[in-house]
Each structure stands twice: as C-alpha cells, then as structure tokens.
Structure 1
Amino acid sequence: MPRPSYVFKRSYNAALDHIAPPAQDMLNVSSLAKAVDVSRTTSRRILEKLCVGGFVQKTPDSSYRIISRPEAEDYFPDEETLSTIEQLETKFMDWILTKRMGPGSTINEAKFAHEMGISNTSAREFLLKLSRFGFLRKEPYKTWSLEGVSDEYADEIMEVRLLFETSAVARLARKDDNDPFWNDLNRIRKKHETLIAHLEHGAIEMPGLDAEFHNLLNAAAGRRLILAIQDVISMIFHYHYHHIWKEEQRLAMAALALQDHIEIIDAIQTKNEELARERMQKHLSNARYALKRPPYRFMTPAIQTHTPHDTRSEG
C-alpha cells in the first residue's frame, strides 16, 4: 500500500477530531466526507484506517459505530502533514538561521537548490515568492539579496492581520458546541502548556507553534486571504526576531506570546467575542512592538495555565 500523502494525513487527523466528541457515536462515508471536506473515495480510505486503528466498527448497514476516542499519540505528527512548499519554508528558515545570514547576505540560486534538494526551477519560484513580500531582492547572475523587514512593511502587515484576525477570533467564539474546532483548540492549548512547562526551549520551538496557532484560527474562521500569506509572514517575522533579539530577549518574548495565546484561547472557549477581539489585538500589538525595536524592557511573565470556565458545558 502506498504511503499516505500529506493531504491524506491531514484529512485523517481531521477525522480523528470529528470522532473525538462524546456526543458523536455513528458516521458513514457521506457524513465523514462532508465533515472533513474530502471525496467519498478518500472518506472510505480514512474509515478503513479508522477500523484498523480500532476507532470505528462497520455495521451491517454499512455505517460505522465509533468504539474508541483518539488520544494525542494517535494523530500523524504535524511535520508529516506539511505540503512540499511548507516543508521548504521550514527548511529555508533553518538554513538561513544556521548560516547566520543577515540583511545584505547573498543567496546563490543554484547552490540554494542543491542544499534544499530541489530543482533550480522550484528554487527560483520559491525565492520569487519571498521577493514579492519584500524579504528578498533579485540580483544579477541568478543571485538574491536578503532585505529584512522595514518599519513600513511591518506596519502594513500588522494592519492586515488586525483586520482579519480580530474578526476571526470573534467568529470562532460563535461556533457550535459540536464543531471539530473545539478539539483542535484543546489540542493546541495542550501544546502551549507543554512548552510553558519547558520554557527553556521556548525561543526555539515558539516560532513553529506560533505559526500553527494562527493558522488554526484563520483556517477555522475561513480567512482564506490571510491563510494564503500566513506561513510566509510567520517565517519572515521570526527571521527578523532572531536578528534583533538577544537570546534572553527571545525567551522573554516567547513567554509573552505563550501567555497571549493562552488568554486568546480562554476568551474563545468561554465564547466571549469582545474579549477575544481585545486579546488578539493586544497580542498583535506586542508582536508589532517587538518588530519596531528590540524589547529590552520585556520581562518574562508569570504564565497562567488554568482551564477557563467553559460555557459550552452548561446545559
């Protein structure tokens, strides 16, 4: 059997989210296809794998009875659900940070393609995409120059994010109680709590978790425009952070971002639309401040990880 693609793995993880709520006890090919937005063929493949995993059992009428709920370890790892371009963005970020490449550094197109293990054409398309965001500038002889992030560019991006992401969290707070989003939100909250418990790794691991957090919110809220550029925005901004922060400052900002995220999650889970908007605005303002100048006065906050009173559990 061929190895499942990243698309199948994403859909399978979505199916696990779908069967996680206790209120869900039966499903069929059509209902699962609709729930996770896949074809009936893919839905059948997912159900076959769920049967093998002991999560569902086929009934005589070709429906499926849910017999077990998924745990965190039952999901495909996040890195296995990334598309080729998403994997390349991650590899590119690691590459330029490992080489300590700052603004003005030069990238040779052919050498970059070789180190990334991709064709010259794919390398050129990827670098061209970054140049549209002002991060790279095309130079003669198939070379590229790193530009960094200007204040004007950062202001422009933050205006767009404020417009889309503050309305996104308010929309999420209105979701139905049985929506699979709540399982996704709980799952990412646990990731935040794990990183908070091991904060010494925060400066390294926070960029990936930050991108995952914002992607989850924007995807669940249907913000397709911001989703189309979210990964590149995250990559560019976190690259910039590494060049203006000292190590202890990066750790302090990671702690602050974790606190912001937990507060946003709390507001969404309690279905407080206005508070969710305010907390997202505060989070983006903190991120903007960090881009404007090095955050020398930031102190590591005392992070609260209590579970909020969830109004969705009330009858």
Structure 2
Amino acid sequence: MARTDDRFRLAFNRLLDICGRWDVGDQLPSEVVLASEMGVSRTVVRASLQRLSDKGLITWQGRSKTVVRKPLSADRLEIRDEMVSVAELERRFLEWVLRFDVPAGTALNVAQLSRQFNVPAHILQEFLAGLSRFGLVERGSKGGWLLLGFTSEFAIELSDFRAVLELNAVRNLVELPDDHEIWSQLSILKDEHLRLQSEIETRFHDFSKLDEKFHTAINSVVKNRFVLEAQKVISLIFHYHYMWDKTHEMQRNAAAIREHLDWIEAMESRDVGRAEAAALRHLRTSKQTLLSSLRDHQLV
C-alpha cells in the first residue's frame, strides 16, 4: 500500500469519526474547517467527502454536505500496520526537538509534522497534548501548538524532578526481598559496566545506551503510571545529551561508569543512606553535564 493511500485511508476514517458526531439531517462543516481538523489538504477532504457520498452517508451539492446516515464499522477502510508506533513517534519527535532543528517559539504545523513522522494528524494532536504536561509544547492562543523548546530552565527542573523520582526508587529498591528480579538485573548491569570500563577507549560511545538501561531498571521498581510517563521524556533527553557534548567524552563516560558502579554496590549493601548518597553524586554530575551541553549550544 502506497503512503499516499495510507494517508487517504486514515483521513477518510477520521472524517467518518467527525461525521459520526453529527445527527442525520445536519450539515457538515466547510472544507476549510474539515481540512484543519483532519490535518490534511482540501484535496484530500474532497476525495474523502466523495467517498462518503458514494457510500450514501451524505448528500453533497456545492457547499451543502448533509448527513444521511450514521457511519457503521463496515464503512471504515482497512489500515495496515505501517504507521509508526506511539513509542516511535515519541522518539522521533523528541530527537527532532533535541537536535535543535527548530528554535523555541516555533509554531508547529500539525499537518506537515504528521506527514514527516508518518502518523495520522489526530494521533499527533493527542501526543502533543500529552507532551504539553512536561512543558515542551503548549497550545497557541489562536489554536495549534507552539514549541517552547529545551531551555536551561527546563533542564534544571527536569534534573531536579529526576532526582526526586530516582531517590524514591532507591528507597523502595533497597527494601525489596532477595528473590526480586531487580537484584539479578543489577548483577547483569554491573557486569556490563565492568566490561565497558575495561574497553572504554574503543567503546565509550556505547555508554549512553547503558546509562538509559541502568536508570530504567532502577525506576522499574516503582509501579506508578505517572513515573512511567515522566521517565519516557527523562530517558530520551538524558540519552540525547550524550550526543550533544563531545568534549572529553571518553573521560566523562568513564567517570559516569565509576559512579554507576558505586551506586550499584551501595544498593546491593542495602544501606539506604549510602545508596542515596551515591545516587545524588551521579545525578548532580549528570545535571552539570547536561547544562554544559546546553552552554555549548548557547542555550544557557
């Protein structure tokens, strides 16, 4: 199935949803309004309206588009699973933002971005609404979305929030029983850190993925939907900041590995005070590295 056909099928199904909100005998909105809500061109809207007319859902004469019957599930067009997942959309969008392709204050064109990220416009709208909770985007005064951008203030607030979450995870973790899966995970992570430490001169670029894996494991002991949602954004941002700052990258990553190892040993000792102290040392270092990366990009 061609991507243009993908877009038409998605747009048509979206128009069915819109049509379903109206009663029989009601008039559908103008093509301009429909195009804006669907995030597609007026050409696609007209093609979708013609399909509605052919199926007997509306009568269409000039500007008059009258609902004749309610849509049925059988009216929907099949969509093959070729669109990106929500998780992939999160990764692509945040990568786009964090690589500084667009400045803060940029108005986001949902129709254009939905094509760029290969997702339906309404899925992108829902994603942006969820992302607005973290202060990266906000609704514009006249509708649409505005990119607030990744600023030093955002980095500081995110780092401080990360510390709250991870210190809470540490307190929970050290109280877990010996047969909990986290202990075997930490043992494997410890071996992976030691292996990378011994090969740091040739594999220091691999640390960002190991760092994400390590922090994800620690936070996994807290079963809280809000923590999981925040962790998505935190993980991606702290993953990408390793790509921004290449100054003394090997030495910086080697130091972070040592901090991780100290943290793991502290947790394994079940000493909550020692584990919290080790966590704070690493989180403070990570915060300073993030701010340093922003300074290099003249964002501080």
Structure-2-length-normalised TM-score: 0.57
Matches of 1:117 and 1:262, distance apart in 2: 40
Letter in 1 for 2:277: E
Alignment-derived partner of residue 147 in structure 2: 145
Q: Is the 8 Å Cα contact of residues 137 and 147 (structure 1) preserved in structure 2?
A: no
> How far did 1:97 drift?
5.6
Q: Is the 8 Å Cα contact of residues 108 and 147 (structure 2) preserved in structure 1?
A: yes
> How far did 1:280 drift?
0.4
Pair 143,163 (structure 1): closer, same or farther in 2 beyond 3 Å: closer
> How far did 1:279 drift?
0.5
Please state whether the residue corresponding to 2:147 is helix, strand or coil: strand
Alignment-derived partner of residue 23 in structure 2: none
Write out per-residue CA displacement over residues 51-80 of structure 1, whole angstroms, 9 at most, x where no aligned residue.
xxxxxxxxxxxxxxxxxxxxxxxxxxxxxx
Alignment-derived partner of residue 174 in structure 1: 175
Alignment-derived partner of residue 265 in structure 1: 264
Q: Is the 8 Å Cα contact of residues 137 and 145 (structure 1) preserved in structure 2?
A: yes
Alignment-derived partner of residue 131 in structure 1: 132
> How far did 1:224 drift?
4.7
% identical aligned pairs:
27
Write out per-residue CA displacement over residues 127-164 of structure 1, whole angstroms, 9 at most, x where no aligned residue.
2322321223445674543511333x334333333333
> How far did 1:238 drift?
4.4
Q: Flag the structure with larger Rg.
A: 2
Matches of 2:97 and 2:228, distance apart in 1: 24
Alignment-derived partner of residue 220 in structure 1: 221
Alignment-derived partner of residue 123 in structure 2: 122
Q: Is the 8 Å Cα contact of residues 204 and 253 (structure 2) preserved in structure 1?
A: yes
Pair 237,185 (structure 1): closer, same or farther in 2 beyond 3 Å: closer
Structure-1-length-normalised TM-score: 0.55
Matches of 1:113 and 1:239, distance apart in 2: 23
> How far did 1:277 drift?
0.8
Q: Is the 8 Å Cα contact of residues 138 and 146 (structure 2) preserved in structure 1?
A: yes
> How far did 1:198 drift?
4.7
Write out per-residue CA displacement over residues 199-249 of structure 1, whole angstroms, 9 at most, x where no aligned residue.
55544x444433332221122144554233111123234455655x3x224
Alignment-derived partner of residue 24 in structure 1: none
Q: Is the 8 Å Cα contact of residues 192 and 262 (structure 1) preserved in structure 2?
A: yes
Alignment-derived partner of residue 290 in structure 2: 291
1:92 maps to 2:93 = yes
Letter in 1 for 2:92: K
Alignment-derived partner of residue 184 in structure 1: 185
> How far did 1:267 drift?
1.2
CA RMSD of aligned residues (A): 3.3
Structure 2: gaps (5+ residues): 1-83, 296-300
Matches of 1:281 and 1:86, distance apart in 2: 29
Matches of 1:284 and 1:112, distance apart in 2: 34
Q: How many residues align?
A: 210
Matches of 1:233 and 1:210, distance apart in 2: 12
Letter in 1 for 2:266: A
Q: Is the 8 Å Cα contact of residues 200 and 251 (structure 1) preserved in structure 2?
A: no
Matches of 1:126 and 1:256, distance apart in 2: 36
Q: Is the 8 Å Cα contact of residues 188 and 213 (structure 1) preserved in structure 2?
A: yes
**Structural mapping, 1:24-103, within 5 Å:** 84-96=85-97, 100-101=101-102, 103=104
Matches of 1:230 and 1:178, distance apart in 2: 25
Pair 108,239 (structure 1): closer, same or farther in 2 beyond 3 Å: farther
> How far did 1:282 drift?
0.8
Write out per-residue CA displacement over residues 154-187 of structure 1, whole angstroms, 9 at most, x where no aligned residue.
3433333333322322332232222222122223
Structure 1: gaps (5+ residues): 1-82, 297-315
Letter in 1 for 2:217: L
